Every structure is written in structure tokens, then in C-alpha cells.
Amino acid sequence: MSHASDHTRIGPEVAPGDEQADSASVGQRIVVYLIGLGLAIILTATSFFVADTDLVWQPSIPVALVVLAIAQMGVHLVFFLHITTGPDNANNVLALAFGVLVVLILMSGSLWIMSNLNHNMMPMDQIMQMQR
């Protein structure tokens, strides 16, 4: 038995969001989307539960919400945007990385401007004296 026949018999493994348009039936695609929807709903409900309960140690709530948000992003990337580690998705991953870089630059620049603006502003009593 040759190695090539084993590959055609078993087939390559496919990531959850990495189905080819011609090989996956509509039913299989719907199942993938429903699994993603179910996971997104569970993660969202868990976030609301963690934020509103006394069962979780209070200082750990922000960390838990960040972890759940990252998991939610992963679900959306894999099940809805179909971004996986496959060779066909290299451009998608690069575009996503560039988008994340732009968002981080905008957020850090905005925070820097807001902190410096507060530091460089004239005190309120001096502003009130100028208006008289």
C-alpha cells in the first residue's frame, strides 16, 4: 500500500472554518455556523454571568472578562470569518494583523493624547477668571 493511496483514502484534516466552497455541502456549512453561534452565545452568557454574580472572586472579574472576550474573538475569526492557519489564508491573516496594529496604534495614541491633554490643561479657576 503506497503513501499516496493512504492520503486519498483518509484525506487531509480540515480546521473548523477551513472548508472549501466546492467540497462542503450547504448542510455542513450551516452546521459550522450553528456551532459558532452556539459557542458565541455561551461565551456571551458566561460574560454576563461573571459580571453579575458574587460567586466569582471580585478582583478576578476583569481578567475573566478579558479571557472570555479573547475566546469570543477566536470563535468569530474561525467560525464566521474562516481565518485559519491554512496556506490559503496567509493574506487574510496578514490583513487581520495589520488591522489589529492600526487599532492598537489608534488606541495608544488616543490614550496618550488624553493623558497629556489633562496634564497640560489650564486649571479651572484660571479659566473662570479669564471669562470675567
Q: Quick check: is 78 in a domain?
A: yes
User: What's the confidence (pLDDT) of residue 88?
Assistant: 80
Q: Are residues 102 and 79 in the same domain?
A: no
Q: Are residues 23 and 71 in the same domain?
A: yes
Q: Are residues 58 and 115 in the same domain?
A: no
Q: Quick check: is 69 in a domain?
A: yes
Q: With the C-alpha atoms ordered 20, 22, 27, 30, is the resulting torsion angle positive or negative?
A: positive
Residue 84 identity (one-letter amino acid): T
Q: Which domain holds residue 47?
A: 3-84
Q: Are residues 53 and 110 in the same domain?
A: no
User: What's the confidence (pLDDT) of residue 7?
Assistant: 45
Tell me if 29 sits within 8 A of 19, measured CB to CB.
yes
Q: Are residues 56 and 30 in the same domain?
A: yes
User: What's the confidence (pLDDT) of residue 120?
Assistant: 75
Q: Quick check: is 92 in a domain?
A: no
What's the angle, vertex CA 33, arms to CA 27 and CA 35, rounded to 5? 100
User: What's the confidence (pLDDT) of residue 51?
Assistant: 93
Provide the CA 20 distance to its chain's centre, in angstroms: 23
Q: Are residues 55 and 16 in the same domain?
A: yes
User: What's the confidence (pLDDT) of residue 83?
Assistant: 85
Taking the CB of residue 17, how many other CB atoms lie within 10 A of it? 20
Q: Quick check: is 52 in a domain?
A: yes
Q: Quick check: is 90 in a domain?
A: no
Q: Are residues 12 and 35 in the same domain?
A: yes
Going residue by residue through the chain, which has 132 residues, state the pLDDT in tens, using 9 for 90 and above. Answer: 445 444 444 555 666 655 555 567 889 889 999 999 999 999 999 999 999 998 988 999 999 999 999 999 999 999 998 888 778 888 888 888 899 999 999 999 999 988 888 667 777 777 788 887
Question: For the chain, what is the domain count?
Answer: 2
User: What's the confidence (pLDDT) of residue 5?
Assistant: 46
- For 115, what's the count of Cα atoms within 13 Å in the CB-facing half-sphere? 6
Q: Quick check: is 91 in a domain?
A: no
